[in-house]
Structure 1
């Protein structure tokens, strides 16, 4: 008589000879009852176990089918947090080391605070005071390799805004808050100097942002082990679109007003050059009378530019020449 989980060469493999169970199995067989005992149970021991009976009769091999299914998991410990407040001066927090398996009644527990063992060996741990930075977890004595997840108060939350660019009046804005915590944190949004919450949850959205929405907002994260908050300054840019538009208008205006200034300078320069040229023409070339009106003189300066025979304005050095006039003076129009 023996127990088996695998078959090799069409023959069941006795657990006592299976290397995976070496030294960990015992049979207790008496009075037509054969019990299998497995020590140092492992997750790999999860299987369907069958019992084999072999007699002296020809073909006398008997087995039960189906067998017994064994599923092995770790204790899957969880720390449950319960907080009670009697009044503003008296409150306490209770931690429970909960497991999904039925452990022997004599099992004891180990509690850890910031990685250090506590003296308590009970399933429950009651705390009157503790720091919000403290971290707790538990384990079953003898199974310390299967501790529970750590529980702790929310860490300093981080806040962000989307879109992250300048906020224009009438646009949609979403504030987001996130924090690491176990148990999971609850999120509440407040605006500075206002007592009532503005929103609950990680995200707070304002669909049409107006000037009165400007100000400081803070997100509070809280679980049964503590709370934390972080602030965010949110300011609208009034008339941002108009400001940008004015900037473009100013740039265009600058370009337009620069042209007359340039022409005026150019005109004055031409006027001076024309005067010099007229002085070098030995008074042989007819010029506009000084008594003429300024407006006519300006018109003439735009209409004609004169050079002496031996000297020309380099700005116009590529101009085509006209036939020489009597008196040895070249004229360019």
Structure 2
């Protein structure tokens, strides 16, 4: 009797152990109008004969654990398939393979699906426990962001996680597509986009969708607002090209920054000296001149930091007709300077020559001449006559062509002169 009891227990255990259903995956998230695959395998006692195989979904008012058979999604007896699922399923129909494909899913398909085996035996019925849970995603996709900061701003170097999901569930079995400012990010194909250290280049609007389904794309975008100091500061010149003297000129300081630049500064470098020249985003010169030649740079500053632009060189060109005029004027001034210098040298030379020549003097008398002059007195005053004789020694110069020599045999010639007198 004891051995018979053990044998019956072993047979019962073998019979119970042979009933099995295996599901994969246990949970599925699908988008509307797509197809889903319920992978499934089963087993049953060898002494039993299959009568019916079916997939069912409990109705809303029924127990959702599979203990109550609900709507027939698939049935080996086709007439028993519920109207909602006719022509929407494909059964594997292979030995112990119970996989099912459901097409054109909709929100009403949301629920738990079970596979059930029925044999001709009174107790030969079995429903695989657990089932497969199907969620139908409600489009559009949405992007959620998680950061290390609770209520603070995102700065360069922070870690950010972006998740692509829908209202009901998150698709995991589909390849994803991520977009930044509506441009595809090729390397991002998962439902989660992880940025371990954000930079200013990551600033932008992000959206997501399915890679193989252009219609399943996020209609909403989320802004990854990365705060950073001014970057790529540069100067734009308007108008561009050559700068003619007298024309207007505008320099614009351009940069990328978040938050926006709040302070601008302009500087001019000329002859190794740096001068502060302005504080607006634009620096304008109404009428350019050669005094504006030099190098210019600007500084952009916000709450995070500041950056200088690369210096640019400006050269103001003088019109060609003015160049000719300036050249002629310069040549004229040079010639005048040369003439003045030459005239000064000539005057100076004449003065020097005149000072060097000896001054003409009256020639000295070399010949002594005795001059006698007769004194004559009128008869009326003869009695009281007093005669004064004056002798003069004269030294006469030698005879020259201008002064002929007297016809005398001696150099000393006596000249008598009559002196008149009065009482």
Task: State the TM-score, normalized to the length of structure 1.
Answer: 0.40
Higher radius of gyration, 1 or 2? 2
Structure with the larger strand share: 2
Task: State the TM-score, normalized to the length of structure 2.
Answer: 0.33
